[in-house]
């Protein structure tokens, strides 16, 4: 770490990149790489962020932008801004009971939070500790009876919106996780290195590993009753990804879920059309943050053509590479109704818990305000392709 980087870690975070640097400093390498990494050569991961640089805006002047309104409506609920905290696995290992801290921040900012199936905190813990409404994310898993049980628990916890992740028939090959032992059994030297890595992060060791116990997948404790570590849970989860999943499984989910249904992992116009046909309430244009198939286009690149296919038949959401309020603005201009943030809130949570997530959302909102003002837009509903610079 050079002197410039060391100095930057001591200043107040001004953007998501600052929170990323703080997260890298405060987390053991294994956990930071899990948040930060992608699959294979991480080309899709890079594409997601780089593509936003190619979207240019029209700067407009002398328009009344004294009263900017960033609010929007989704599924009958008014949101303070078109942003959702996406499902992120293992969040409770980044900060003490991290999912609760993130949900609390989201509630304060009046935006949705979605709990991952592989969260540390369970559905019931979030419901009892916060009494706040939240979304739930589910994989299509082999054990259909357990999937039904999870859907029932989500309903009992007050969830009215389900995100079904459909781009995980198999797990993408993630080189960072292999190298640091997260997705493989480390040898003796690997175990020693991991132990030393944890030892040089005493703040994480005390606040998370000790005070944040139990570090287990809270939603899956009865599925793996003999589990002694996260690796035991991971073995069960990895075996549950269902490569035989088809569109018929979506009908099966519909039979057991009466709330809003969102399909996450759409990158093709034919798949978008099929999602509309089966009656999805929303789709998420997503390549899993570059963590599944490498070498695919950025989500922001395929968003406009999918927007034409969807054509208001369902809500259109997008994730991948969104690191600022300016990126949110660009995504809306290209057809999205709202954006999901994943790494952005994970970095902030690891850096400073609930306070970090809350401040990160303030940054996103402020940047969105500025983007709207300098393009002459005062309402979210007025953002469209006309704000883009046509080369």
Distance CA 142, CA 289 (A): 24
Distance CA 100, CA 126 (A): 6
* Neighbouring residues of 336: CB distance < 8 A, sequence distance ≥ 6: 82, 285, 303, 307, 316, 317, 318
CA-angle at 201, arms to 197 and 206, nearest 5°: 125
- Predicted structure pTM score: 0.94
**Tens digits of pLDDT across the chain (391 residues):** 444 444 445 678 999 999 999 999 999 999 999 999 999 999 999 999 999 999 999 999 999 999 999 999 999 999 999 999 999 999 999 999 999 999 999 999 999 999 999 999 999 999 999 999 999 999 888 899 999 999 999 999 999 999 999 999 888 899 988 888 776 666 666 677 778 888 889 999 999 999 999 999 999 999 888 877 777 787 788 888 888 889 988 999 999 999 999 999 999 999 999 999 999 999 999 999 999 999 999 999 999 999 999 999 999 999 999 999 999 999 999 999 999 999 999 999 999 999 999 999 999 999 999 999 999 999 999 999 999 998 7
Residues in the chain: 391
Residue with the two structure tokens 């116009």: 269
* Pairing outcome for strands 83-85 and 338-341: parallel
Find out whether 159 and 135 touch, Cβ atoms under 8 Å: yes
* Neighbouring residues of 121: CB distance < 8 A, sequence distance ≥ 6: 91, 92, 97, 98, 99, 100, 115, 129, 218
- 288 catalytic residue (yes or no): yes
Find out whether 115 and 137 touch, Cβ atoms under 8 Å: yes
* Neighbouring residues of 53: CB distance < 8 A, sequence distance ≥ 6: none
* Pairing outcome for strands 77-79 and 72-74: antiparallel
* Of 168, 162, 181, nearest in space to 261 by CA: 162
Find out whether 126 and 218 touch, Cβ atoms under 8 Å: no
* Annotated catalytic residue within 201, 256, 288, 313: 288
Q: How far apart are the first and last CA of the chain?
A: 40
CATH architecture of the domain with residue range 3-175+237-387: Alpha-Beta Barrel (3.20)
The tally of CA atoms less than 13 A away on the side-chain side of residue 377 is: 25
């Amino acid at each position: 770490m050079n002197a410039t980087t060391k100095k930057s870690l001591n200043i107040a975070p001004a953007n998501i990149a600052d929170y990323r640097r703080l997260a890298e400093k405060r987390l053991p390498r294994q956990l930071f790489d899990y948040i930060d990494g992608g699959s294979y050569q991480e080309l899709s991961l890079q594409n997601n962020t780089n593509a936003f640089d190619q979207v240019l805006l029209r700067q407009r002047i002398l328009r009344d932008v004294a009263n900017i309104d960033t609010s929007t409506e989704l599924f009958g609920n008014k949101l303070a801004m078109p942003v959702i905290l996406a499902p992120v696995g293992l969040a409770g290992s980044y900060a003490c009971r991290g999912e609760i801290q993130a949900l609390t921040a989201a509630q304060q900012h009046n935006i949705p939070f979605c709990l991952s199936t592989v969260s540390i905190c369970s559905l019931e813990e979030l419901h009892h500790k916060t009494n706040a409404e939240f979304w739930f994310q589910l994989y299509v898993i082999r054990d259909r009876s357990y999937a039904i049980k999870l859907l029932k628990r989500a309903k009992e916890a007050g969830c009215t919106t389900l995100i079904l992740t459909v781009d995980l028939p198999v797990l993408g090959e993630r080189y960072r996780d292999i190298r640091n032992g997260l997705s493989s059994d480390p040898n003796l030297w690997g175990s020693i290195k991991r132990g030393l890595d944890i030892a040089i992060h005493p703040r994480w060791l005390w606040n998370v590993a000790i005070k944040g116990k139990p570090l287990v997948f809270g939603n899956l404790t009865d599925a793996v009753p003999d589990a002694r570590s996260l690796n035991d849970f991971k073995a069960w989860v990895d075996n549950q990804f269902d490569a035989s999943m088809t569109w018929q499984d979506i009908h099966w989910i519909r039979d057991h879920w009466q709330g809003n249904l969102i399909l996450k992992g759409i990158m093709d116009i034919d798949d978008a059309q099929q999602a509309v046909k089966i009656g999805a309430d929303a789709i998420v244009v997503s390549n899993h943050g570059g963590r599944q198939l490498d070498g695919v286009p950025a989500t922001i690149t395929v968003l406009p053509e999918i927007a034409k296919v969807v054509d208001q038949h369902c809500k259109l959401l997008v994730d991948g590479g969104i690191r600022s309020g300016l990126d949110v603005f660009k995504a809306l201009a290209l057809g999205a109704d709202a954006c999901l943030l994943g790494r952005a809130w994970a970095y902030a949570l690891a850096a400073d818990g609930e306070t970090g997530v809350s401040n990160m959302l303030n940054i996103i909102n402020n940047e969105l305000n500025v983007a709207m003002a300098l393009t002459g837009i005062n309402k979210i509903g007025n953002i469209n392709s006309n704000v883009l610079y046509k080369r």
